[in-house]
Amino acid sequence: MSVNVLDVLLAGALAGLSWTCSVVHYPLLSDLHQLGSGSIHFQRHINRIFPLVGILMAAELMVAAWLCWADGSTGSMASLGLVLLIWAVTGLFAAPVHQLLVEERATPKDIAKLLRAHHFRTGCWTLRCGLAAIGSSV
């Protein structure tokens, strides 16, 4: 399997997973939080999704970095830039709110921040999926 095909598969998997979380998981967890019963469910969500997301994101970063190093094209640099942006948004905005949810200290404002961060990441992954697909066909 070529590195470009792997890049498309990783970008597509993460975009699809992110869309699923946007449409299904985060709205349900937000509802649970409003009802005051979300912390246990949110911790279970984190425990179950982290191995999948963590492995995919780490692989995506390595493949995007490799492609950028190997060809140095504008498309591969933009793609790597999106991956790094996703990591930054995850670390600076999403992860801290996840911790607040687990600790039952999240406010509605925190939930809104998490959803904005997540939707931004979903957009980045969707765009990256397109960039990876275009890059693999050239």
Q: What is the mean predicted confidence (pLDDT) over 13-27?
A: 88
Residue 58: which pLDDT band, with cuts at 50, 70 and 90?
very high
Confidence of residue 106 (pLDDT cuts 50, 70, 90): confident
What pLDDT score was predicted for residue 87?
A: 98
> What is the pLDDT at residue 29?
73
Domain boundaries, the chain: 3-137
Cβ neighbours for 54, distance < 8 A, ≥ 6 positions apart: none
More confident of the two residues 32 and 59: 59
pTM of structure = 0.87
pLDDT of residue 3: 78
